[in-house]
Amino acid sequence: MSAVETKSSNFIKTRVEEDIKTNKYEGRVHTRFPPEPNGYLHIGHAKSICLNFGLAEEFEGGLCNLRFDDTNPIKEEEEYVKSMIEDIHWLGFDWGDRLYYASDYFDQLYEWAIQLIKDGKAYVDSMSADQIREFRGTLTQPGKESPYRNRRVEENIELFERMRAGEFEDGTHVLRAKIDMTSPNLNMRDPVIYRILHAHHHRTGDKWCIYPMYDWAHGQSDSIEGITHSICTLEFEAHRPLYEWFLEALGVYQPEQIEFARLNLNYTVISKRKLLQLVQEDKVDDWDDPRMPTLSGLRRKGYTPQSIRVFADRIGVAKSDNMVEIALLEHCLREDLNYSALRVMAVLNPIKVIITNYPEDKEEDLEAVNNPEDEDAGTRMIPFSREIYIERDDFREDPPRKYFRLAPGAEVRLKHAYYITCEKVIKDPASGEITELYCTYDPKSRGGWTDDGRKVKGTLHWVSAQHAVNAEVRLYEHLFLKENPDDIKEGKDFHFYLNPDSLKVLKQCKVEPGLVHASVQNRYQFLRQGYFVVDSKDSKPDALVFNRAVSLRDSWARIERSQNLDQK
């Protein structure tokens, strides 16, 4: 990452800067990230987290709270709270002692509801949900007032108290704000602010059987916390007048709400509802399946917090609907890992090579650079011997044009080791499959170099057969085959586009011996292949499992593809 790169500006940052200049909120900057604990955080949340916490970091004295919007006990669970806390910390953000819950404010919210009733600005409606819907009108037709709309204040108070006391069944009454049933903004047509829900809440237990609606809780929660800039996504834009109406009716502090467009990523889905479906239907292992765009999934796959933060910064913040290419996310990871990942050799699809002129009982240790991008990473010794494994794809019996890997009669370099030349191909007579390659090496090329001006263009990775450690390697592809799985044709839904080959498991991999000590903390570059990390759930010291975080760019694959195209 270049140090001179400056963070690009965005309209929210500009607004905050203006507010500071004009001394609105006494120059304070106080944001918050307000997730509902009803699922796991995903890359879209990361955008919001980086925005909110980033703003607080960027401005002198800025603060960002973490607040769980837990107003619906039916969907929310403690497990999600825990995972969200872990994920945000993992990204590298902290909220100090400012961890809040909307449920912290249930008493205050109830008091405010009473106040609204007393002011004649709220009433208990006893129509059914269906009736309320009918009375709301449509996009083009105004709504009608509920027959209960003009109950006396005392009656409303009494009914609301009895709602709270648990005297009524779910759905029999609601508390509504008395605004305007003819408003062109449907959110202003007497929105429901309390509903009866005889449900156990993860924090308040059974204290309440009425729960505030999000609209009633959200703006006031921001107000209570003294939030200056309430940043949220576009779909809440039409709710802003409502939040302002509440805050004005209550006569309390009013934050500034700013809306931005949520992130969409191609070849995946980003919505807690759909991700939950994938988990429940066993389309993936769990929320942290490496194919999931969840933060826990990306973490398990090998993503670094830094790469995600850089990504969040590069995609920018604006108000237009967008669909970001996942290639950008992958680029950010490669960029980060290129500087930090230790290079090791691992053969994913092994084919045995026997070096016929190398003494049978000999073995030697060769020095290998750990990271050419970082001299401080030093070197390590790796064992070499007569029999080694190379990648099956690094040999072609009938090499195509521009192929400069191993082929009959061809000479290649074994990285850090020797030049070898292929002399003979051994096949299984039954299947025709190549089983072994007989090669000779040039003893003068130790370390992988000679000064005789010989041109050896291909360089292969390898692992000494007798020293190799077995490992399982999991290769991941996009979860969906279609760029936008939500762009559905008649009778189909996003399931239709699930990629059946999104996970490929290789069980016969051979990795260099030092990798038995591989730790989840480290990401490795398997030379010439990609970046890999030890799987945090399934890997064991005697049964290593690696996940591919992202492949290396592969310009040979591109050449080959265009060659194939030429032939057609």
Q: Does 358 sit near RNA (CB under 7 A)?
A: no
Joined together, the tokens standing for residue 445 give: 């090329």
Those residues whose C-beta lies under 8 Å from the C-beta of residue 22, and which sit 6 or more positions away, are none
In the list 164, 415, 474, 478, the residue contacting RNA (rule: CB under 7 A) is 415
Nearer to RNA, 289 or 418 (CB): 418
Distance CA 181, CA 515 (A): 68
Q: Which strand ranges, in their side-by-side order, compose the sheet holding 434-442?
A: 459-460, 411-414, 419-427, 434-442, 350-355, 387-391, 462-464
Output the smallest distance, CB 7 to RNA, in A. Answer: 10
**CB-facing half-sphere around the CA of 530: CA atoms within 13 A:** 22
Which listed range, 147-155, 189-197, 278-286, 539-547, lies at the site for RNA (CB under 7 A)?
A: 189-197
Q: Does 11 sit near RNA (CB under 7 A)?
A: yes
Nearer to RNA, 372 or 491 (CB): 372
Question: How many binding residues for RNA (CB under 7 A)?
Answer: 92
Amino acid at 184: P
Distance CA 151, CA 553 (A): 69
DSSP 461: -
In the list 127, 382, 410, 475, the residue contacting RNA (rule: CB under 7 A) is 127
Output the smallest distance, CB 369 to RNA, in A. Answer: 7
Q: Does 409 sit near RNA (CB under 7 A)?
A: no
Q: Does 402 sit near RNA (CB under 7 A)?
A: yes
Nearer to RNA, 103 or 289 (CB): 103
Strand partners, 247: none
What's 45-105 look like in SS3? HHHHHHHHHHHHHHCCCCEEEEEECCCCCCCCCHHHHHHHHHHHHHHCCCCCCCEEEHHHH
Distance CA 66, CA 48 (A): 12
Which residues in the 215-244 window bind RNA by CB under 7 A? 215, 218, 234-239
Nearer to RNA, 45 or 289 (CB): 45
Those residues whose C-beta lies under 8 Å from the C-beta of residue 450, and which sit 6 or more positions away, are 419, 442, 444
Which listed range, 25-33, 64-72, 91-99, 292-300, lies at the site for RNA (CB under 7 A)?
A: 64-72
Centre a 10 Å sphere on the Cβ of residue 89 and count the other Cβ atoms it contains.
13
Distance CA 217, CA 203 (A): 16
What's 225-288 look like in SS3? CCCCEEEEEHHHHHHHHHHHHHHHHHCCCCCEEEEECCCCECCCCCCHHHHHHHHHCCCCCCCC
CA distance from start to end of the chain: 41
Which residues in the 426-465 window bind RNA by CB under 7 A? 447-449, 458-459
Nearer to RNA, 130 or 282 (CB): 130
- Please give the angle made by the CA atoms of 449, 450 and 451, to the nearest 5 degrees: 130
Q: Tell me which residue of 282, 230, 286, 251 sits closest to 116, measured CA to CA.
A: 251
List the x/- string, 488-527, binding to RNA by CB under 7 A: -------------------------------------x-x
Which residues in the 302-341 window bind RNA by CB under 7 A? 314-325, 327-328, 331, 334-335, 338
Those residues whose C-beta lies under 8 Å from the C-beta of residue 149, and which sit 6 or more positions away, are 123, 125, 178, 190
Determine phi and psi for 63, rounding to 5 degrees. -135, 150
Which residues in the 16-45 window bind RNA by CB under 7 A? 36
- Which residue in 36, 77, 237, 387 is the catalytic one? 36
In the list 151, 229, 405, 474, the residue contacting RNA (rule: CB under 7 A) is 405
Which listed range, 104-112, 411-419, 491-499, 537-545, lies at the site for RNA (CB under 7 A)?
A: 411-419
In the list 214, 476, 480, 532, the residue contacting RNA (rule: CB under 7 A) is 214
272 counts as catalytic: yes
- Which residue in 272, 386, 415, 548 is the catalytic one? 272
Nearer to RNA, 278 or 333 (CB): 333
List the x/- string, 538-567, binding to RNA by CB under 7 A: --------------xxxxx-xx--x-----
Q: Does 343 sit near RNA (CB under 7 A)?
A: yes
- Which residue in 13, 75, 262, 283 is the catalytic one? 262
Q: Does 71 sit near RNA (CB under 7 A)?
A: yes
36 counts as catalytic: yes
List the x/- string, 73-92, binding to RNA by CB under 7 A: --x-----------------
Nearer to RNA, 370 or 499 (CB): 370
Nearer to RNA, 259 or 535 (CB): 259
568 counts as catalytic: no
In the list 170, 281, 363, 428, the residue contacting RNA (rule: CB under 7 A) is 170
Q: Does 276 sit near RNA (CB under 7 A)?
A: no
Distance CA 211, CA 199 (A): 9
* Residues with catalytic function: 36, 262, 272
